[in-house]
């Protein structure tokens, strides 16, 4: 399991404590299965209560919540987040993967609740923005976090260089077309932030054109939040050495040759420029409505666990209730007609 004991903020978290917390989380999940069983008489409120307890048990695995530990703030340094550290989580890879499996089950349940509420008029929805250098693990993260999710209710979109049609419109035009509908979760692999970072690094637009976009983006995201959209912005902070390892792996694996382009090396050569650009992005656009979380990504199991925790607790914290029957549903009549 790695080190038997690791230290965080003056306290100690043992490997056995991680196992015990995960055991309790699984027990909570079993109770959740019970109250959702076909023969259960539990009310909607009781079912939501058990879901909340189960989620809280899982969150207890963290010595410090990712929403607090990894949020960009004053005095923060990008270099501190890059590498193989796992802030707030003191288990090993096996513990992390066990956490992800349990959390994925709970996310799937909360996703169904979110979707049901959206069908019945709720404006609540979620936008996840994933950014990071090449080979930071954005695509694989989505597969792991949503391994038990329902495709009906999840929208994934990857943003590449703008097309001619997209360049003919305002830079937010293509983003607005991909936003989540009520009840849905949308995942952006890259996003509107490319329209600030790329012009800055490569000089493709004059500064007087791209710099005002910071304020435009902040206003855009505030309006989304005001309309019921929770925004989770993730920067996967991979190290140069870890990126190098993944690039070489792609060269050696014929099933991954398609992932590699010479432009990946061009971006790597401008690493410091990219880091400076992203630092300013965080400073200008990390807000209460749409904070940035900078996640160490050399250990991919850790970054997946972080995003899973952030997503699950975000939906759990919305205070959603299971919608009831439509006004025209007569339960006694339904039972009579079904015999």
- Tens of pLDDT, residue by residue, the chain (339 residues): 333 333 333 444 567 888 888 999 899 888 888 888 878 899 999 999 999 999 999 999 999 999 999 999 977 887 778 889 999 999 999 999 999 999 999 999 999 999 999 999 999 999 999 999 999 999 999 999 998 899 999 999 999 999 999 999 999 999 999 999 999 999 999 999 999 999 999 999 999 999 999 999 999 999 999 999 999 999 999 999 999 999 999 999 999 999 999 999 999 999 999 999 999 999 999 999 999 999 999 999 999 999 999 999 999 999 999 999 999 999 999 999 998
Question: What whole-number distance in Å separates Cα of residue 159 and Cα of residue 314?
Answer: 24
CB of 148 within 8 A of CB of 192?
Answer: no
Alpha carbon dihedral 85, 87, 91, 94, in 10-degree steps, equals: -60
Beta strands 11-14; 125-132: pairing state: unpaired
Please tell me whether residue 147 adopts helix, strand or coil conformation: coil
The whole model's pTM is what? Answer: 0.93
Q: List the one residue out of 310, 258, 326 whose CA is nearest residue 100.
A: 310
Q: Provide the pLDDT for residue 2.
A: 39
Distances in Å between the Cα of 137 and the Cα atoms of 64, 96, 299, 311 are 23, 16, 10, 17
Could you give the domains of the chain? 70-91+106-320 (3.40.50.300)
Looking at 193-317, list the stretches that DSSP marks H as alpha helix, in order from N- to C-terminal side.
194-202, 207-210, 213-226, 240-252, 262-269, 271-285, 300-316
Q: Provide the pLDDT for residue 38.
A: 76
Q: Give CA angle at 77 (74, 83), nearest 5°.
A: 140
Residues 6+ apart with CB under 8 A from 23: none
Alpha carbon dihedral 91, 96, 99, 105, in 10-degree steps, equals: 180
Q: List the one residue out of 150, 130, 250 whose CA is nearest residue 190.
A: 130
CB of 312 within 8 A of CB of 106?
Answer: yes
């Amino acid at each position: 399991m790695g080190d038997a004991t690791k230290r965080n903020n003056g306290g100690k978290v043992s490997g056995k404590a991680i196992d015990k917390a995960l055991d309790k989380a699984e027990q909570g999940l079993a109770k959740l299965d019970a109250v959702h069983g076909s023969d259960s008489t539990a009310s909607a409120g009781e079912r939501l209560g058990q879901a909340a307890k189960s989620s809280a048990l899982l969150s207890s695995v963290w010595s410090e919540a990712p929403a607090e530990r990894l949020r960009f703030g004053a005095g923060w340094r990008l270099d501190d987040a890059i590498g193989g550290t796992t802030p707030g989580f003191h288990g090993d890879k096996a513990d992390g993967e066990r956490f992800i499996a349990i959390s994925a089950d709970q996310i799937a349940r909360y996703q169904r609740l979110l979707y049901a509420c959206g069908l019945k008029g709720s404006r609540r929805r979620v936008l996840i923005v994933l950014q990071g250098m090449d080979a930071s693990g954005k695509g694989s993260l989505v597969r792991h976090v949503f391994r038990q999710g329902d495709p009906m209710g999840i929208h994934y979109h990857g943003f590449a260089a703008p097309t001619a049609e997209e360049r003919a419109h305002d830079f937010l035009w293509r983003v607005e077309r991909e936003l989540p509908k009520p009840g849905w979760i949308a995942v952006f692999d890259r996003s509107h932030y490319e329209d600030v970072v790329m012009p800055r690094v490569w000089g493709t637009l004059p500064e007087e054109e791209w710099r005002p976009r910071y304020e435009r983006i902040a206003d855009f995201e505030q309006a989304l939040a005001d309309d019921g959209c929770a925004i989770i912005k993730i920067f996967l902070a991979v190290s140069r050495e870890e990126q190098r390892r993944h690039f070489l792996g792609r060269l050696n694996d014929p099933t991954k040759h398609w992932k590699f382009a010479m432009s990946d090396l061009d971006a790597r050569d401008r690493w410091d420029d990219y880091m400076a650009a992203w630092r300013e992005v965080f400073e200008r656009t990390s807000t209460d409505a749409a904070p940035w979380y900078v996640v160490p990504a050399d250990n991919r199991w850790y970054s997946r666990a972080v995003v899973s925790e952030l997503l699950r607790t975000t939906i759990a914290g919305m205070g959603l209730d299971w919608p009831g029957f439509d006004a025209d549903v007569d339960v006694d009549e339904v039972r009579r007609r079904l015999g």
